[in-house]
Every structure is written in structure tokens, then in C-alpha cells.
Amino acid sequence: MASLREIKNRIGSTKKTRQITKAMQMVSAAKLNRAQTNAQSYEPYTQKIRDVVASIASSHSDASHPMLEEREVKKTGYVIITSDRGLAGAYNAGLIRSLIDTINARHNSSDEYELFVLGRIGSDLLKRKGLEVRKQVTGIADSPSFSEIKEVTRESVQMFESEEVDELYLWYNHFMSPIRQDVTEQKLLPLTDLAEESINQSYEYEPSEEAILEQLLPQYAESLIYGALLDAKASEFGARMTAMSAATDNANQMIDDLTLKYNRARQAAITQEINEIVGGASALE
């Protein structure tokens, strides 16, 4: 049975842990608000590019681009967005588990896919599972700029343009609420769904529709990755806030249990001392 000193030390260490988890919860809540604002502010930009590209794709002109056309799939590219730090519950593990299950179901060998990973945790988990990572980006800021991921986005999109990969998928956690983040797979390239959209606005293109597509389509694909990163950041902070809230609650419960155990042990020790004094006094009579 633990001594009073050991129980008291455990209570003290648990209180210190509670202070840390509570502070991390509050910090994550503040970062979540900023991340949501960043994601919402970026959405109109992506939507406007989508409208312009969809207007050309859905028109009856002869303008076309390889990014709008499907081809035989020989190799698939995956852009995976994870975090650089842990303590976020199942935020990373759930995403990587779903991704690996999908890869195993779709592909027979590693020659059939390429992996581009944003975030140290995801890269480490994939390598631990024996999967080769083509490109990785770590150390991404809490409020990321496009320049931080520019290299990996350009390389993944250019691989599709050069036909090194025949389709490109985006994997990330979509923010639903602080307690819910949904693993999401989004087909990034080819952009076959744009031609099906109904556009109410009309545009005049200068110098030509082909020139606009050539410029905008790679930029649009890259903007989708960046928008998903902003969304994933909100999910990360929501998951971390929830995980730290649960850890704080568990610490409170542990402190209550240890305090009760300490009081009972202290009471038992006092009772034992009284019995020994009474017993000693009786022996002297």
C-alpha cells in the first residue's frame, strides 16, 4: 500500500499536469478561432477562381486543358495533411489509418502511388508503416502562408501535368466542430466536376480562354491544397482543445480519487496511533 508521502507526491504531480493541460486547452481554443477566421477568409478567393474555370469548362468553346480530362490511371498521387505535433487525440492516427486502408484496397504495389505529406506526425507514421514518402514539409506555422507549402504543391501538380501521376487526391481532416473532425478525401486532379457546374455569371476572356486556363488551373489546384491546409489547421486545434479538455477532466478525477485515498490513509494512520497510545496506557495500569 502506498505511503502518505507517495500519495501526496502523486497529487502534487497530477495538479502540475492539470495546469499544463488546462493551459494547452486555452491556447488551442484561441488558435482555433484564428484558424477558423483564416479558412473562412480564404474561401471566397478559391470560389471565385472555381467560378471562372468552371465557366470556361462548361461553355461550348474549344478551350481544353489536360487538368480537365481523365486518362488511364497508372499511378496515383496523394497529398496528405497532418500535424507537426501530437497531443491531439486521434487527429493524425485516424487519418493515416484510413489512408493506408484505401491504399491497400486500391493498389497492389508501391509503384502505383506517390505520397506528399504535410506535417511531421503523418510522415513519421507512414514511414513506420513501411510506406515511402516522395516529399514532406514540416514545421508549418499555426497560421500558415502559401509560401511554406509552395514547393510541395507545385511538385505534386506538375507531376500530374507531366503525366507522372494520372490522378491526384487530397487527404485531410475537415473541421465540423471542436469535437468532430471528418477524414476527407477530395479528388484534386483531374478537375472533371467543373464542367457539370451551372454558372450564372458570364465572363469575357483576354487574350483567350486557353491562355486563362493555362494560368488559372495550376493556381486553382494549388489553392485547393492551401485551403485544405487552413481547414485542417482548424481541425487540429479543435482536436487538441478537446483532447486537453478531456485530459484536464481526467486529472481532476484522479486528484479527487487520490485526495480521498490520502484522507482515508491519514485517518487510518491516526486511528492506529490512537490505538497504540491507548494500548500502551492500558499496559501501564
**Is residue 118 helix, strand or coil?**
strand
How many CB atoms neighbour CB 182 within 10 A? 11
* Residue 33 grid cell: 478561432
Q: Count how many domains the chain has.
A: 2
Judgement on whether residues 127 and 155 belong to the same structural domain of the protein? yes
Judgement on whether residues 18 and 121 belong to the same structural domain of the protein? no
Domain annotation covers residue 285: no
Q: Supply the pTM of this predicted model.
A: 0.86
Judgement on whether residues 183 and 257 belong to the same structural domain of the protein? no
Give the structural domain span for 223.
Answer: 25-242
Gyration radius of the chain over CA positions? 28
Residue labelled with grid coordinates 505534386: 156
Residue 268 sits in a domain of what CATH number? 1.10.287.80
Judgement on whether residues 14 and 55 belong to the same structural domain of the protein? no
Could you read off the pLDDT of 103-162 as tens digits, one per residue?
A: 999 999 999 999 999 999 999 999 999 999 999 999 999 999 999 999 999 999 999 989
Percent above pLDDT 90 for the chain: 61
Domain annotation covers residue 12: yes
Q: Write down the pLDDT at residue 58.
A: 66
Judgement on whether residues 15 and 50 belong to the same structural domain of the protein? no
Judgement on whether residues 219 and 250 belong to the same structural domain of the protein? no
- b (16+ CB within 10 A) / e for 130-167: ebeebbbbeebebebeeeebeebbeebbebbeeeebbb
